[in-house]
A and B are shown apart, each in its own frame.
Chain A
Amino acid sequence: MNVLLDNLPLYLEAFFFGTIRLFVISAIGSLVLGTVLAAMRVSPMPVLRVFGAMYVNIVRNTPLTLVFFFFAFAYPRLDLIDVSYFVAACAALIVYTAAFVCEVIRSGVNTVPVGQAEAARALGFTFAQILGQIVMPQAFRAVVPPLTSIMIALLKNTTIAAGFSVFEAGGIYQNLSERGYDVLVGLLWVALFFLILVLPLTGLQRTLEKRWRVAA
């Protein structure tokens, strides 16, 4: 208990200014980018389909740490727009997670019977309309549980940012050890905090599942 109480500011700062902020920004960013990528992968234009497939297969097979390394060490040498380490960390998490979000949403799209899209096309809907008004709403409904899993994975992945100059929960133990505290006990508290953060996510999953349930 002492480890937690003595270092409460450290824990609170790490979780509220680090982990939660990283998670919320990256979650929104990766949902948007992932949906766009999924739309590309099912679009009628071959160029977009190829681009989407390449993106997913390259990024999905790159370890997240390497993506972080790229943004922290290689990107600055390209002399593009200067970004802070926090923005770079968000970018790494978004780029990585979006590949997984894309595939989950694509699997959702596959649950929608082809006949619906064909019927819509027969009625004169454009591709954007078919996707936005008929396919995607049903696709999202089907993928709530796997999407929640990806978001929980994203939450835990934020801890990698500690190695790249973003202070968050993953960096707590280094500070504790330098202050002479027992690191193991400190990490147990970190685990507990993560459990608390995951609970609302699973709650949201259950609510959405109930609300979007299709009457059998």
Chain B
Amino acid sequence: MKLRTLAVGLMVGALALTACGREGSPTTPAAPGGETAPEVSYPVATGVSLPDSPTFAKIQQRGRIVAGVRDDQPGLGFRDATTGEYAGFDVEIARMIAAGLGYGEDQIDYVVVPSAAREDTIERGDIDYMVGTYTINDTRKQRVSFAGPYYVAGQSVLVAADNTTITGKDTLQGQRVCSVTGSTPIQRVRDQGLTDQIVEFQTYSQCVDQLLAGQVDAVTTDDAILAGFASQRPDELKVVGEPFSQEPYGIGLNRDDSALRNKINDILQASYDDGTWQKAYDSTLGLSGTTASPPELQRY
């Protein structure tokens, strides 16, 4: 008797739960701001051949692409904890490149690579390419190479929506400013002496949490990352001031693989020309209300 009551109870509970799930969950990954992103699809290329590229040879052997992404930057590279789906502009670019190399969405393995491990992961060949707010600069070029840029961001400042004291980088003096431990943005704040109250956490989302809790006054990093957070909570956060740096985002690749770099540059150029890039942007970062156009490729 007891057992039967339990079984019936479990079944009723299970039914109720599945019904809930069906009603509540959206079909496409939610974009920042809660709107549903329009699907952008990329035609999968056929007959791609890159005889000079060791990375591509490995991809063919494996039959899958391994793309490095971020999972904690809404609007750029963000993993939905409930569905496990990756969404954002960087992820769109990663998909676009995979399609250009002849691999569809279901043939991509995403690997989350933290900032500090990007060069090592690429050098070891653990990922085929990295798309994750990866700024092209000369020190990094000594260890990896870059295709792109596919976007140019600039360092900016995120504050609470009701903050009127901070209007840009020159008003940070004496304020508590947060960014990721050892990151370029926080080193720039230090070098330019913008403030002496520096707070460093492991991820930008932790900094944003501190900002919401009132423990810091501002979060600084690339405007694209900040815009993503601001569009998640438009009532509580805002981005202020003009960007005060140039951060060209590139696709990190093995240093010796110029064949793959050229190929990816071609894929990017094609997407700039036929409007696919614009569609990818509008369906992700563009939802925050900012507009952008494709940057000039650096073919080196």
Contacts and interface: CB of A to CB of B under 8 A. Distances in A.
Contact of B184 (A85, A162, A178): A178
Contacts of B118: 177
A216 to B, nearest CB: 53
Q: Which of B118, B139, B142, B215 has the most CB of A within 10 A?
A: B215
Contacts, number: 60
A70 B149 CA distance: 40
Interface in B9-65: none
A18 to B, nearest CB: 12
Contact of A180 (B143, B183, B213, B214): B143
Contacts of B245: none
Contacts of A72: 201, 210
B182 A174 contact: yes
Interface residues of B, number: 27
Contacts of B119: 177, 180
A178 B120 CA distance: 12
Given A76-B215, A163-B181, A183 B142 contact: no
A76 B201 CA distance: 15
A171 B139 CA distance: 20
B200 interface: yes
B166 interface: no
A165 B210 CA distance: 11
A167 interface: yes
Contacts of B184: 178
Contacts of A180: 119, 139-140, 142-143
Contacts of B213: 73, 76-77
A167 B186 CA distance: 13
Contacts of B178: 165
A171 B200 CA distance: 10
A38 B201 CA distance: 35
A178 B201 contact: no
B117 interface: yes
A177 B115 contact: yes
Interface string A148-181: 0000000000000011110100010111111110
Interface string B177-205: 01011111001000000000001111000
Given A163-B201, A163-B202, A73 B209 contact: yes
A128 B171 CA distance: 58
Task: Pick from A173, A178, A183, A184 the residue with the most CB of B within 10 Å.
Answer: A178
A73 B142 CA distance: 38
Interface in B111-125: 115-120
Nearest to B200: A165
Nearest to B143: A180
Nearest to A171: B181
Nearest to A170: B181
Nearest to A10: B182
A87 to B, nearest CB: 13
Nearest to B186: A178
Contacts of B181: 162-163, 165, 171, 174-175
B201 A164 contact: yes
A162 B140 CA distance: 24
B202 A173 contact: no
A77 B202 CA distance: 19
B143 A85 contact: no
Interface of A: 72-73, 76-77, 85, 162-165, 167, 171, 173-180, 183-184
23 contacts: A72-B210, A73-B209, A73-B213, A76-B210, A76-B213, A76-B215, A163-B181, A165-B200, A167-B200, A171-B182, A171-B200, A173-B116, A174-B115, A174-B182, A175-B181, A177-B115, A177-B116, A177-B119, A177-B182, A178-B187, A180-B119, A180-B139, A183-B116
Given A173-B116, A177-B118, A177-B182, 14 more contacts: A76-B214, A163-B202, A165-B201, A171-B181, A177-B115, A177-B119, A178-B182, A178-B183, A178-B187, A179-B139, A180-B140, A180-B143, A183-B116, A183-B117
